[in-house]
Amino acid sequence: MSSFSVEAVPPCIWQVGALCHAVSDALQARFNPLAVEGEISGFSRAGSGHCYFSLKDESGQLRCAMFQRAAMLLDFVPRDGDRVVVQGRLGVYESRGDLQMVVEAMRPVGEGALFARFARLKTALQQEGLFDADRKRPPRAMPRGVAVVTSPQAAALQDVLTTLARRSPHVPVLVVPALVQGVQAPASLVAALQQLYARIGAESLRRPDGLVLQIDTILLVRGGGSLEDLWAFNDEQLARTIVQSPVPLISGVGHETDFSIADFCADVRAPTPTAAAELVATSAQQALAVCQHLHERLAQASDRHLDGLQQRLDKATSRLARPAQGLALHHARLQQMQQAMRHHSLARLAQWQNQWAQQDRQLPRSLNQAMDREQERLARAALRLEMLNPQKVLERGYAVVSDASGHAITDARLLHHGQPLQVRVAQGEFSVQVRKQSEMDW
């Protein structure tokens, strides 16, 4: 006897697939499109690029699928425990009859505004050139001293110190304390870096044990966390302080998938704090290998230098083996030089003697000719002087009349009656007095 009564038989018998399809249509018509907030659980990424996970809260759980096309648009890496808001369409995965949401977009809860601020600041600083690769410096292979800027209570500090002590125990380390989370963290990090820069410039770094440090590498580190936890490293003032570092600065903030503005401004970005320490801490084996290589190169260079010196010594020894031949050769060269100098001196002496004899013969004749010319010039000058002699003029009957002051009288109109005059003739002088013109006998 059947357990179903006639009254219990439904009006329509559904096929399973048809019912799932109908339920999916009803869900899409009733809810889609929709957004759901929850915590990621069981996140996985298939080889095809599709992502599968569940969204859950205190009272329920929803299976989700995010296909490759949408997953490629994510600007962060989803992890279990992340609280997110997803957008998509609700339906039924008909092959299993499971309720499923096909996610088309995802963002972290509460981080949308932070991501927008991060993107704006990143774009502005990049346009200013703070991220340019040509200003960044490679870290030193073997630093003389390392400064670690982080919180003294951070687990990342212990990881860094352990790595440095294990790989390079000979490298001194200076810990510079600073806040790495919270509202006051950016200002604390900026102050710590600025104080460190000033001490590096003043070369006044001294450890409690009295050892003077030569810091040439800075590590800025912090462990992983959410975007809110790491937000201190997205501060604009901190970014500008990082690029002012006088020595290479390496950032190791968060996990490998975390990026901050500090990472873009630093000279080198390490995926984790431990990786940052490994970048600057050359292992003892590597250091020994470098020393061995340098030792071999030095030995080879020394051998080549000694070989060259030995070759020079051999050549010098071969020359000293026959000193008589060398002395004879030098003696012959000396005699040749003496003969050449003697021949040259005799030739010059004969040349000078010929020149002196020729000049000796020409000298009297030249002197006589010069004296004749000078006597002739003297006679012509004496004749010109004689012609200009005033005495000769007076001897021809002329006289020179002058006033009482000795000035010669050349114009009779300038004379006045009774003016005394002095007259000079060829043989002597006499005085006269001017009379009126009508009385004068000219």
pLDDT digits (tens, 9 = 90+) for 258-283: 889 999 999 999 999 999 999 988 76
Q: In the predicted model, is pLDDT for residue 1 greater than 50?
A: no
* Total Cβ atoms within 10 A of residue 228: 13
Whether residues 104 and 208 fall in one domain = no
Judged by DSSP in three states, 431 sits in strand
Is 79 within a domain?
yes
Whether residues 257 and 190 fall in one domain = yes
Measured between alpha carbons, how far is 252 from 275 in angstroms, rounded to an integer?
7
* Greater model confidence, 78 or 305: 78
Tokens describing residue 40: 């990621």
Residue owning tokens 């009349």: 401
The domain boundary residue, chosen from 235, 255, 285: 285
Is 95 within a domain?
yes
Tokens describing residue 352: 């000078």
Q: Give the mean model confidence (pLDDT) for residues 244-250.
A: 95
Using an 8 Å Cβ cutoff, are 61 and 98 in contact? no
Pairing of strands 83-93, 428-433: unpaired
Give per-residue burial for 55-66: e unless 16+ CB within 10 Å, then b.
Answer: beeeeeebebbb
Whether residues 121 and 218 fall in one domain = yes
CATH number of the domain bearing residue 224: 3.40.50.2300
Q: In the predicted model, is pLDDT for residue 204 greater than 60?
A: no
Is 128 within a domain?
yes
Q: Give the mean model confidence (pLDDT) for residues 347-368.
A: 68
Whether residues 121 and 266 fall in one domain = yes
Residue 62 carries which side chain, given as an amino acid letter? L
pLDDT band at 439 (very low <50, low <70, confident <90, very high): very low
Q: In the predicted model, is pLDDT for residue 440 greater than 50?
A: no
The predicted pLDDT at position 144 comes to 87
pLDDT band at 22 (very low <50, low <70, confident <90, very high): confident
Whether residues 128 and 259 fall in one domain = yes
pLDDT band at 117 (very low <50, low <70, confident <90, very high): confident
Q: In the predicted model, is pLDDT for residue 111 greater than 70?
A: no
Is 408 within a domain?
yes
What residues form DSSP beta bridges with 91?
Answer: 100
The predicted pLDDT at position 227 comes to 74
* Greater model confidence, 107 or 239: 239
CATH number of the domain bearing residue 54: 2.40.50.140
Is 370 within a domain?
no
* Greater model confidence, 321 or 174: 174
Which regions of 24-135 does DSSP assign to beta strands (E)?
34-45, 51-56, 61-66, 83-93, 98-108
Measured between alpha carbons, how far is 246 from 248 in angstroms, rounded to an integer?
7
The predicted pLDDT at position 214 comes to 86
Average pLDDT, the chain: 81
- How many domains are contained in the chain? 3
Q: In the predicted model, is pLDDT for residue 209 greater than 70?
A: no
pLDDT band at 222 (very low <50, low <70, confident <90, very high): very high
* Total Cβ atoms within 10 A of residue 358: 10
Whether residues 122 and 210 fall in one domain = yes
- Percent pLDDT > 90 in the chain is 29
- Percent pLDDT > 70 in the chain is 82
Q: In the predicted model, is pLDDT for residue 322 greater than 90?
A: no
Structural domain including 97 reads 12-109
Using an 8 Å Cβ cutoff, are 149 and 189 in contact? yes
Q: In the predicted model, is pLDDT for residue 228 greater than 80?
A: no
Judged by DSSP in three states, 280 sits in helix
The predicted pLDDT at position 336 comes to 81
Tokens describing residue 76: 């962060």
Whether residues 49 and 90 fall in one domain = yes
Q: In the predicted model, is pLDDT for residue 66 greater than 90?
A: yes
The predicted pLDDT at position 362 comes to 66
Q: Give the mean model confidence (pLDDT) for residues 23-47.
A: 83
The domain boundary residue, chosen from 234, 259, 285: 285
Q: What is the pLDDT of residues 401-430, one digit of tens each?
A: 888 888 888 888 888 888 898 888 878 888
Of 38-42, 49-53, 357-361, minimum mean pLDDT range: 357-361
Q: In the predicted model, is pLDDT for residue 299 greater than 80?
A: no
Is 53 within a domain?
yes
